[in-house]
Structure 1
Amino acid sequence: MIAAPISAAIWLWEGLRRVDCLGGDRWDVLTFGAHHAHEVQKPKQITSFAWFALAMAVLALFAPRVICSASMLALAVGDPSAAFVGRRFGTTSLGRNNKTLEGCVGFFVAGFVVISLFATVLYKSVVSLSTLGLFSAAVSFAGAAAEVLSGSRWVDDNFAVPLFAGFAGWCVLHVMNATAVLVL
């Protein structure tokens, strides 16, 4: 009930920014700096902040809490890790949008560690550790794959990563018959 109105407000700001009724410099204040500088300078480009808000609203409306949380963690931890590792150590180009194999591995490892810790702390009494490990691996792998495949001008990674990661996590929990986690 909270995610949908927040997402709607962010998309309203996005629409106002696109018609530039407040002037480009004021958008940094309105979005609390949650956008990239190059996005504000291109008024026709929808900001990553807006795409992230939409993905979180979709997940909040249709997915259980464990899926929403793990998907958000995948993006929040994996995306900056991929950028850091890819810029610092990346040499093997994946041929898309400056993505590297090293950055993709960085996304997966960081996401897997954080999601594993999150899932183990909250759900180890309900589901086996092997199921939680498989869940963490699926969410992290799907998030890393979505990061590599998105980023074009049609699909923003801040929209694709949470949705792909959430779907992968949901599939694993259903296949492993861990429905007890889905109702918590």
Structure 2
Amino acid sequence: MPDPQKHDMHGRHDSGFLPLRRELMRKSLHVLALVIPAAMLLLGKPPSIVIFGGLAFLGIVLDIIRADKAPLNHWIVNFFGSLMRPREKELPQGRVVVNGATWAMLSAFLLVLFFPVQVAAFAFTIFMLGDAAAALAGRRMGRIRLGKSPKTLEGSLAFLATALLISLVFPGIYFWHGAASSMAACIAEAAPLPLDDNLRVPLVAALTMLAVQHL
């Protein structure tokens, strides 16, 4: 049985571990991040490209600068450190580390740039809420590992259930299209791939949705 004190949100043993209270705080930001798909739907494609492209660019620039400017990194860690994972705060030998918020902004930008707004908003929504559900279920109930993956079956089922519920109520999305996209996103979230899941999972969800819509 995995030791919950030695594994992070989804059964992973690495420098990303946060205490449960801080994990709850971090995942609460996923709910607040629903303003992003809401903005996509309300503002439309061109304004969303400009806004999220600008925010992604700003995040990348700050991550690059803080790798060489210790005072800036110190200020960011002091201000946001309670919500950052250790690997996002530690910058050995000036190495650039892209934090989760920057990945999320880059994901939102690429989604709205390459996909219809409805698909982009859906993909981002199921990741934000599904990932939060997976994190909490994995931390509290995760026991069954998915092969060599660091994730747990309980966390992945929570992700899938949340994404399917969203598919039922999301405006302009057929449930079966959403269900296929949710399944693909769940697999992408559980897979031990190197690309950050804030980018990988929403893009897989959007690509699957587009493929299913064109069948």
Range of TM-score over shorter length: 0.7 to 0.9
> 2:144–2:152: 8 Å Cα contact kept in structure 1?
yes
In structure 2, what is the equivalent of residue 139 of structure 1? 181
SS at match of 2:71: coil
Answering whether residue 211 of structure 2 is matched by residue 163 of structure 1, we say no
> 2:202, 2:81 → 1: CA distance?
21
| Counterpart mapping for 1:65-84 below 5 A | 65-84=117-136
Change (3 A) 1:77 1:34: farther
> 2:142–2:152: 8 Å Cα contact kept in structure 1?
yes
Amino acid across the alignment from 1:37: R
> 2:81–2:89: 8 Å Cα contact kept in structure 1?
no
Output one character per residue of 1:43-101: Cα deviation in whole Å (capped at 9) or x when no partner.
23321222222121111111111111111111110101111111222221014453111
Tell me the percent identity: 26
> 1:34, 1:70 → 2: CA distance?
29
Q: TM-score, normalised by structure 1?
A: 0.78
Amino acid across the alignment from 2:84: H
> 1:27–1:40: 8 Å Cα contact kept in structure 2?
no
Let me know the Cα RMSD of the aligned residues: 2.2
| Aligned partner (choices 104, 112, 119) of residue 60 of structure 1 | 112
> 2:82, 2:175 → 1: CA distance?
32
> 1:23, 1:14 → 2: CA distance?
10
Answering whether residue 131 of structure 2 is matched by residue 103 of structure 1, we say no
SS at match of 1:123: coil
Output one character per residue of 1:28-48: Cα deviation in whole Å (capped at 9) or x when no partner.
477x67952313422233212
Change (3 A) 1:41 1:123: closer
| Aligned partner (choices 72, 78, 86) of residue 38 of structure 1 | 86
Structure 2: stretches of 5+ with no match in the other structure: 1-49
Change (3 A) 1:89 1:21: closer
| Aligned partner (choices 10, 14, 18) of residue 67 of structure 2 | 18
Structure 1: stretches of 5+ with no match in the other structure: 125-131, 176-184
Q: TM-score, normalised by structure 2?
A: 0.68
> 2:165, 2:71 → 1: CA distance?
42
User: Shift of residue 20 of structure 1?
Assistant: 2.7
> 2:71, 2:188 → 1: CA distance?
34
In structure 2, what is the equivalent of residue 128 of structure 1? none
Q: How many residues of Structure 1 are paired with residues of Structure 2 in the alignment?
A: 162
